[in-house]
Amino acid sequence: MQNVIKFVVVLFITIGSLSAQNKVYNSKSNFTLSTSLVGMSMDYREYDDANLILDSEKSGYSDLNGFELGLDYVFRKTPSSHMRINANLMMLQGSTQYVGSILGSGNPYGSFLSVTENKLVDYEVSFKHNLMITNALELGYGIGIGHRVWDRGLSATQLEIYTWNSIRTELFANYNVTSRLKLGVAYEYQFGMNTEMSLSSPSLNFTLGGADISQISIPVRFAYTNRIDFFAAMTFEKQEIKKSNTVGGFLEPKSTAKNKFIRVGVDFKF
């Protein structure tokens, strides 16, 4: 992951240097490449049927981090609206602090402490429609499909892999504070499908009852040139996973996660 982050930083500098040399606006530029560094704060908890906590995972922004890449294509541009197709990839890796108990021990929550190694991959393709309400206010909606994979390494022998597809719907608004500064807010709901979790030891595969996510994002964007925007965004995410079926006497309990993401990045228009 460190090598990947170094690559993204070098990409920032290289593309930024090339783009900064050309500040002439090209009205035919319909593509935007978005690159950002991402930090994630995780607060994950599993519960039994009586809503008593079984185990939890927590991290700070510096513990679980990585990068995000996006490619945006604008078409059917008019003074009052435009449409966009967007592809996005996020990859995070790092550790969380585990509080729980050893599987099958019967011991209570908090009897076992450890460090969990995590990998999170999320990618999506979406369609968005932007509408200019006034010269300063822009509203829009979007729909897309996505896929999430969470590798949760509880120990060297116990690996849990959560995977699901999702349909994603979004409502958003952007406000031009000045000709260069833009503030935004967006709400997205992800409805999970084909929700599964595989366990390495013992080797079992579970069908989860569901995996749904709600997100609120607050981006701030500054137009450095006609070709380059700098941006930062804060995302608040609530994830709910429903209890799985029982396999071999085991099941995956229901869980909730209240996660936060910080993104800092650059948009390159071409």
Confidence of residue 91 (pLDDT cuts 50, 70, 90): very high
Report d(CA 52, CA 113) in Å as an integer. Answer: 18
The more confident residue out of 211 and 22 is: 211
Q: Could you list the beta-strand ranges (E) of 59-207.
A: 64-75, 81-100, 112-132, 137-153, 159-176, 181-199, 204-207
Contacts of 83 (CB under 8 A, 6+ apart): 74, 75, 76, 127, 128, 129, 130
| pTM across the whole model | 0.86
Read off the pLDDT band of 155 (50, 70, 90): confident
pLDDT (tens digit per residue) in 63-75: 999 999 999 999 9
* Cβ atoms < 10 Å from Cβ of 139: 15
Output the CA–CA distances (angstroms, integers) from residue 204 to 57, 150, 197, 200, 256, in the order listed.
22, 16, 9, 7, 22
- Find, among 195, 190, 189, the residue nearest to 164 by Cα: 195
Q: According to the model, what pLDDT value does residue 185 have? A: 98
- The pLDDT value given to residue 156: 78
CA distance 231 to 188: 19
Sole residue written with tokens 């541009």: 77
Q: Band the pLDDT of 246: cuts 50, 70, 90.
A: very high
pLDDT score, position 6: 52
Residue 157 binned pLDDT confidence (cut-offs 50, 70, 90): confident
Whether residue 77 is predicted with pLDDT greater than 70 in this model: the reply is: yes
Residues 193 and 213: their CA atoms lie apart, in Å, by 12
Cβ burial of 150 (10 Å; 0-12, 13-18, 19+) is buried
Neighbours of 207 (CB within 10 A): 12
pLDDT tens digits, one per residue of 100-146: 987 767 788 999 999 999 999 999 999 999 999 999 999 999 999 99
| Residue 186 · residue 217 · CB < 8 Å | yes
Span 208-236, pLDDT tens digits: 999 999 999 999 999 999 999 999 999 99
DSSP type of residue 63: T
